[in-house]
Chains A and B, each alone.
Chain A
Amino acid sequence: MKRHLISAADLSRGDALLILDTAEELASLADRPIKKLPTLRGRTVVNLFYEDSTRTRISFEAAAKRLSADVINFSAKGSSVAKGESLKDTALTLEAMGADAVVIRHGASGAAHRLAGWVRGSVLNAGDGTHEHPTQALLDAFTIRRRLKGAGARDAGLDGLRVTIVGDVLHSRVARSNVLLLSTLGAEVTLAAPPTLLPLAVGSWPCAVSYDLDSELPKSDVVMMLRVQQERMTAAYFPSVREYSRRYGLDAARMARLPGPAIVMHPGPMNRGVEIAAEVADSVRSTIVEQVANGVTTRMAVLYLLLGGMEFPATGVAQ
């Protein structure tokens, strides 16, 4: 394992399997009377959130607390950031407080990478702009493996599984991290989206591209719906929400074309009625609630593997 988790591309297949297998062992903790381990006692994890987030922040907080770490939550609203403090100065402040790990969510792509050069602790990218969100990809891979390879599967990749990622790929850090991680784990990934919602460089990604969702559904083991990110859309990417929904939304009729055990995923928050119909989101194929529970487990695994062992040799110390 490296010292930081900035990109899903940093993870080798061995690293990714180690995280998933560790998460598998930690999953049983949820059924125990005492859902806590003493492993990170005395370590401090800072949640540094420049963008709004519910599930990711709470998930990291729960994960750190279950490992007995001290958690400091920092959100840009109501902090000195509102007074104009730069990311670097905020980072140095956290450094002075002795943060062993910084979990960062930021609107600018590359923010986590910059931060990693300024602090002594580990940096975990919890979403940077439209770049990456590696722990989301890990929890998605964990959810796919548990559903399709069985809970308790260990040392198994996702070889041969066909995953279709649908929708607003252009603005989605979740899609990018998932393409990288799922292909590392052996899955065949296809992006299904309107051409306007695909990034220019998509040709260099390790995945196939399709503009037609209906032709992909019958051969998909996993369909991952992405949120239409209206807040990041500065131009007209499709004629109307209704037209988008008709061509790329997953409704009951489309879901019926999926093969036997196929599952439907969504990283949340959902726009019910836009990219996913309510009856699909609440169906037995949907893993949306499991993804949240698995998020805590997977993030515990990552925190343990980054912080649980001996300290990494000092590099990248703030100048």
Chain B
Amino acid sequence: MCATRIPVAGRDGLAVLDAEEIRRALTRIAHEILERTRGGDGVILLGIPTRGVPLARRLAARIGEFEGLDVPCGSLDVTMHRDDLRLHPARALGRTELPPGGVDGKTVVLVDDVLYSGRTVRAALDALNDLGRPRAVQLAVLVDRGHRELPIRADYVGKNLPTSQREVVHVLLTEVDGQDGVMIAGEGRQP
């Protein structure tokens, strides 16, 4: 998911979403969150680092635009709860920043860029469990690429992207990578 260098569409893979399409997908998700939570009351958005965090901020800004509602927004690092820690050298930690008031009794919408095996989301649910007791937890992702290994599904999906497990999906966001775009690379997709 995270590339060490910024991939370039056409050279490193096939562009599947451009900046405009990402903007429209996020706009739709923001509306869906408002619908499903009856106006967004008691909602907080928690992004999963790295790229879930700017996505959560963008969704919060959209919801603010549409309804004039100030949705609290934060980040939730899941590194310490991952089940694959022993497979890699120790990773640097991301940041966990909860909005004031915490998560107790709130509807927490977890936000991430790509939903794949579901293991990150499981780790996020565990991490959340140690922080308090939300009223409900929902999941918003920009891309759902399939291949779940756990019984987890997203409540809000920007784009369903059927992939092969040998392919790699890159999500690029201006805040992190300097540009917006979603790219898919690997087996048969190289232009």
Contact = CB atoms under 8 A, between A and B. Distances in A.
Q: Number of contact residues on A: which range applies? A: 20 to 34
Contacts of B87: 310
A309 B90 contact: yes
Interface of B: 77, 80-81, 85-96, 126, 130-132
B81 A38 contact: yes
Label chain A's interface by main secondary structure. loop
22 contacts: A1-B90, A22-B92, A25-B95, A25-B96, A32-B131, A33-B130, A33-B131, A34-B130, A34-B131, A37-B80, A38-B126, A39-B80, A39-B81, A305-B90, A306-B90, A307-B90, A308-B90, A309-B86, A309-B91, A310-B87, A310-B88, A310-B89
Nearest to B132: A33
Nearest to A310: B86
Nearest to B87: A310
The 8 closest A-B pairs by CB, nearest first: A309-B90, A25-B93, A308-B90, A309-B89, A34-B130, A37-B80, A39-B80, A305-B90
A38 B95 CA distance: 17
B81 A25 contact: no
Contacts of A22: 92-93
A309 B90 CA distance: 4
Given A32-B130, A311-B86, A37 B81 contact: yes
A18 to B, nearest CB: 6
A64 to B, nearest CB: 14
Nearest to B90: A309
Interface of A: 1, 18, 21-22, 25-26, 28, 32-34, 36-39, 304-311
A147 B80 CA distance: 26
A25 B81 CA distance: 14
A194 to B, nearest CB: 43
Given A26-B93, A309-B86, 12 more contacts: A32-B130, A33-B131, A34-B131, A37-B130, A38-B81, A38-B126, A39-B80, A304-B90, A308-B85, A309-B91, A310-B87, A311-B86
A238 to B, nearest CB: 45
Contacts of B90: 1, 304-309
B170 to A, nearest CB: 24
A77 B137 CA distance: 52
